[in-house]
Amino acid sequence: MIVSKEPNITQKLEELRKDISSHDYRYYVLDAPIISDHEYDLLFQELLKLEKNYPDLITPDSPSMRVGGAILSEFREVEHAIPMLSLDNIFLPPDLNDFDQRLKRFLQHQKDITYSVEPKLDGLAVELVYEQGILKIGSTRGNGSMGEDITAQLKTVKSIPLRLHNTQQNLTVRGEVFLPINGFKELNRRRREKGEQVFANPRNAAAGSLRQLDPRITAERPLSFYVYGIADSSVTSSSSLTELYDFLKNIGFKINPLILQCKTTKEILDQYNHLQKIRDLLEYEIDGMVIKVDSFGLQQRLGATARAPRWAVAWKFPGIQATTTLKDVIFQVGRTGAVTPVGILEPVSVNGVTVQRATLHNHDEIQRKNLRIGDRVLIQRAGDVIPEIIMPISEQRTGEEIKIKMPSNCPECKHPLERPNKKDKILRCDNPFCPAQRLQSLIHFTGKSGLDIEGLGKKNMELLFNTGLVKEIPDIFKLKEENLAALEGWGEKSAKKAITAIQSAKTLPFATLLRGLGIRFIGEVTAQLLADRFNTPDELLKVSKEELLEIEAVGEQTAEHLIRYFQEDSTPKLFHKLSELGLTITAHEKKKSLLSDRVFLFTGTLGSVSRNEAKQRVKDNDGQVSTSMTRKVTDLVAGKKAGSKLAKATAMEINVLTEEQFLALVSHRPEED
């Protein structure tokens, strides 16, 4: 296992996580992405590769842990009883073999696995909740845990049964709403005739149709639906996906006729190649193939990570390529002071979508690709907008191209830019008074990733900042109705609404405040972990590095940065100002799960499950796993040929479990008592 704390790796991971989170928001929330699916996939694969090589640098708020997207405010929120997870991606035949072998190693005694493969539709994932056979709630995937209630809109989709056939049971199914290509073309034809803006592609059209507040507009769109799964497989008598699809077809759902059962990776590869050949002949758009373990029993054993099931992957098709000109490179300053180069492209239409920007990441990336301003470049996309620049077309250079120079001073405040380390790839402005950083921090604080204060979106925060009404976070809570009503584009009604939202935001969970402050390394998950351990800002101001390291997934780098942040003079002053302005932290009830507050250590050989599978069952039940015998260990699981750890556990009076006792413990369901 490679372990490193090199700043260049840390900074690279940070920027990747930031970029991916931003793209998740634009793609899943706004339906207005600025990069292609393929470029996003490459960013995500780069993140996963780095985290695999440097596991001690994985943070709980990484997009890999989490599943990414937020909820639009126009619809009521709906909680998914069982989270709707994302899928990990593969791109090449060797990736497929790695996936197959990884599952077989995890399952230890499983030699052969049967897979169910199906086209990956480019639509919108939804969940349908049926009570006594009648459709009660339909919702979007949202952020995986919470979605948007679009029941009225989904009821207009004719391929979604309002009442199930042949059954009155409670059932929660999941599937994809999509717009057939012919319907998409007809919809755009009608919009052109009316002088309305046309949709870029069928996916955007489907998503936009379901997010119409007026269901009558949705009803005019020729949407369709394919079911692809069920939230809880135990509610039916089906033992596999193959059996489940037969059951779902029998009760009224459309099943994709191209779903195929495969027993070998060669069969999967053959089907992948077949789908590529016929994709242009299909009535709907697909961007790859989904591969799932067919057996529900094996699915349950394999489980899931924080963001994706282990038993399924999406195999994406190659991206679409085009050429254009790199006209210029600008440099943007982020909330943490990172300076990122952005390529400005000659606008080019790729499969009906105009793209004109590309994130270039850092100077090393520019040098590696030998890019110059004025280059003709090959771009690649497999989705909606901004592509990856694959390479310059050097044969077409005229000699007038200009080398790209990184700035030596911040483009916003002119403060000298620095690298924390010579090997660091990211230039950073460390001026705490840099206006770009302060503005981005304010936008983050009031935005979806922070306190989500209605009326204080990006444009309005830029206006408040530029007019001098808001220069730092406490200023937000000093705003008055008359301040806002006097601004251009505002009025008494919008001003009153914003002030009401600000007042409501004053009472909030500690985790929300921590997330909103935009502290480096603190995302949604890390903020919640800190709030679970420390109840107030005062407790965090006194925290030690050792206490932080006791929190699972908080590593050395994160702990050291947090200590520096909480020990800065400005931090207690900020908390004090917010308290004086009426901010109140709500009491936090810590959820207790089956293995909460228990730490497990494994020794010896396990017979019926692999060591990895056993550890995962502990984590799935909110327990912790230790790799060595310490005072924190509460339970030792002793397999065959247990060694010295068993003797130490006995001497330390630590609870010892046999493999059978452990499996009985993690299989226990409180609701069965």
Just give the CATH number of 435-505.
1.10.150.20
Q: Decide which of 1.10.10.10, 3.40.50.10190, 3.40.1010.20, 3.30.930.10 is the CATH code for 599-672.
A: 3.40.50.10190
Percentage of residues in the chain having pLDDT higher than 70: 90
The mean pLDDT value for 309-317 works out to 93
Q: How many CB atoms lie within 10 A of CB 176?
A: 20
Domain 77-316: CATH architecture, name and number where available: 2-Layer Sandwich (3.30)
Mean pLDDT of the chain: 85
Least confident of 34-48, 181-195, 573-587: 34-48
Least confident of 49-53, 217-221, 486-490, 569-573: 49-53
The mean pLDDT value for 356-369 works out to 86
Cα gap 374→392, rounded to integer Å? 10
In this prediction, residue 1 carries a pLDDT of: 38
Where exactly are the structural domains of the chain? Answer: 7-66+319-403, 77-316, 435-505, 510-585, 599-672
CB environment 89-117: b (16+ within 10 A), e (fewer): bbbeeeebeebbeebeebbeebeebbbbb
Task: Kindly tell me if the per-residue pLDDT of 184 is higher than 50.
Answer: yes
Q: Which two tokens stand for residue 60?
A: 């709980």
Task: Kindly tell me if the per-residue pLDDT of 315 is higher than 90.
Answer: yes
Q: Which two tokens stand for residue 76?
A: 């009521």
The mean pLDDT value for 168-194 works out to 90
- Give 405-439 pLDDT, tens digit per residue: 999 999 999 999 988 766 667 899 988 889 999 99
CA dihedral 98, 102, 105, 110 (to 10 degrees): -90
The mean pLDDT value for 80-93 works out to 90
The more confidently predicted of residues 669 and 301 is 301
Q: What residues does 416 pair with on adjacent strands?
A: 409
- Give 459-517 pLDDT, tens digit per residue: 999 999 999 999 999 999 999 999 999 998 899 999 999 999 999 999 999 989 999 99
Q: Which two tokens stand for residue 331?
A: 């440099």
The mean pLDDT value for 166-186 works out to 92
The mean pLDDT value for 355-375 works out to 89
63: confidence class by pLDDT, cuts 50, 70, 90: low
In this prediction, residue 350 carries a pLDDT of: 73
Cα gap 414→408, rounded to integer Å? 9
Task: Kindly tell me if the per-residue pLDDT of 318 is higher than 90.
Answer: no
Report CA 576 to chain centroid distance, whole Å.
Answer: 33
Q: What is the pTM of this model?
A: 0.53
The mean pLDDT value for 337-354 works out to 84
The mean pLDDT value for 377-404 works out to 81
The mean pLDDT value for 29-53 works out to 75
In this prediction, residue 456 carries a pLDDT of: 94
In this prediction, residue 273 carries a pLDDT of: 94
Domain 510-585: CATH architecture, name and number where available: Orthogonal Bundle (1.10)
The mean pLDDT value for 437-461 works out to 92
Q: How many CB atoms lie within 10 A of CB 5?
A: 13
CA dihedral 421, 422, 423, 427 (to 10 degrees): 70
Q: Which two tokens stand for residue 408?
A: 């030596």
User: Mind telling me the catalytic residues?
Assistant: 120
The more confidently predicted of residues 383 and 280 is 280
Going by C-alpha positions, the residue among 454, 382, 284 that lies closest to residue 27 is 382
In this prediction, residue 312 carries a pLDDT of: 96
Going by C-alpha positions, the residue among 256, 305, 247 that lies closest to residue 117 is 256
Burial of 48 (0-12, 13-18, 19+ CB in 10 A): middle
- Give 94-124 pLDDT, tens digit per residue: 999 999 999 998 888 678 899 999 999 989 9
* Residues found in the chain: 673
Asked, colleague to colleague, whether 435-505 and 510-585 share their fold, the answer is: yes
Domain 7-66+319-403 belongs to what topology?
A: OB fold (Dihydrolipoamide Acetyltransferase, E2P) (2.40.50)
591: confidence class by pLDDT, cuts 50, 70, 90: low
